[in-house]
Amino acid sequence: MSQSASTGRLTPYRAGWIHFTNVAPILDSLVLPPGVTAITGVPTQMNAALLSGQVDIANISAVEFIRNADVLEALPDFSVAVLGPVYSVNLFHTRPLEDLRRVALTAQSAMSVALLEVLLRERGLSPTLERAEGEAEALLAQGFDGVLRIGDSALREWYGVVGPLTPETTMTGLPHAARGITVTDLAEEWFRLTGHPFTFAVWAYRRDNPPPPELVQAMREARRDGIGHLADVAERHARKLGLPERVVQHYLWNFRYHLEAPDRLGLHEFAAKAVPGHAPLTFGPRPGEERARSAAD
């Protein structure tokens, strides 16, 4: 392994990516710089990989960043956040929320489970939460009152319940219920509760092992390219998902990828509700500050 001129690193810097469609505008065109390798997995796998040291940086669930804020730091300008509906973190249910008795939870995401627990607690509700995997409608047919689904599967299943779009309708005009199934978007519920964005993921690393500047710059350039060619990204992923291009394009342009002040506000509010007494959340140097910090060192 060749030595990195900027970091003096002699071993590979290992990245772990959760490569759902929602980060396609960042990761699809990312070219890793020399000395950086990457693996992919679902959120819980990448959370565990970062905390165990299997990878050095990952776009992990915000709740795991909060729970491990004593050892982790996050990039200051990368997030997966929304203001209002997210379309891919959904509770499918056949009873009103107040009447839920059994809810099936996915083991793929700690973030969605933590958000659901906060929202239920805020309403004073306490249904039985059970681990179970499978599509929403199949689990509902097995006797669950509610099913929590995330990611690309949740987006497809949401559209399967509330779609299709017609030339006269829009994503925001689609119903929240059909065929006896209601779809509650957890990010939309968060917005109703707080009026703030919800930050689902950050790019985190151990404080003693920050990413090389070349990687961070490559990520920023990839994000710029992806957002600048969002229609192309949406078309490509719509084919993979079997969804209309309109659906995927709206889904992607809805995200907030820069961890701006409102996103941090929502993140801190969620942290206070989900992990009381957590260590302070810390973020790395902002764009342009890395070079100044390196020169000072």
Looking at the structure, do residues 63 and 206 belong to the same domain, yes or no?
A: yes
CB 271 within 8 A of CB 65: no
Write the CA distances from 193 to 84, 182, 187, 202, 260, integer angstroms: 11, 19, 10, 22, 20
95 and 170 part of one domain:
yes
The domain boundary residue, chosen from 172, 194, 216 = 194
Residue with tokens 């056949």: 94
pLDDT interval class at 47 (50, 70, 90) = very high
Range of the structural domain that residue 149 is part of: 89-194
Residues 78 and 203 in one domain: yes
Q: Percent of the chain, pLDDT > 70?
A: 94
Average pLDDT over residues 81-86: 97
Q: What is the pLDDT of residue 7?
A: 46
Q: Do both 212 and 77 map to the same domain?
A: yes
User: Residue 241: pLDDT band by 50, 70, 90 thresholds?
Assistant: very high
pLDDT at 188 over 90: yes
**CATH number of the CATH domain containing 54:** 3.40.190.10
Q: Are residues 182 and 109 in the same domain?
A: yes
**Does residue 137 sit in the same domain as residue 163?**
yes
Is 295's pLDDT higher than 60? no
- Whether residue 120 sits in one domain with residue 105: yes
Q: What whole-number distance in Å separates Cα of residue 148 and Cα of residue 154?
A: 8
Q: What is the mean pLDDT of the chain?
A: 93
- CA–CA separation, 105 vs 72, rounded Å? 27
Residue type, 286: R
Q: Which helix (H) or strand (E) holds 228?
A: helix 213-228
Mean pLDDT to the nearest integer, 159-171 = 92
Kindly state whether residues 64 and 6 are assigned to the same domain.
Answer: yes
Confidence of residue 286 (pLDDT cuts 50, 70, 90): confident
Query: Is the Cβ–Cβ distance between 42 and 109 less than 8 Å?
Result: yes
Q: At 8, is the pLDDT very low, low, confident or very high (cuts 50, 70, 90)? A: low
Interatomic CA distance for residues 102 and 152, integer angstroms: 24
The domain boundary residue, chosen from 174, 194, 214: 194
Residues 184 and 218 in one domain: no
Is residue 122 domain-shared with residue 190, that is, in the same domain? yes
Mean pLDDT along residues 265-291: 91
Answer whether residue 69 shows pLDDT above 80.
yes
pLDDT > 70? residue 86: yes
Query: pTM for the whole thing?
Result: 0.92
* 184 in the same domain as 141: yes
pLDDT for 4 equals: 39
Residue 290 banded pLDDT, cuts 50, 70, 90 = low
Q: State the average pLDDT over residues 199-224.
A: 97
Task: Please state the domain count of the chain.
Answer: 2
Could you tell me the pLDDT band of residue 121, with boundaries at 50, 70 and 90? very high
- For residue 2, the model assigns a pLDDT of 29
At residue 254, φ and ψ (nearest 5 deg) are: -75, -20
**141 and 217 in one domain?**
no
Neighbours of 149 (CB within 10 A): 27
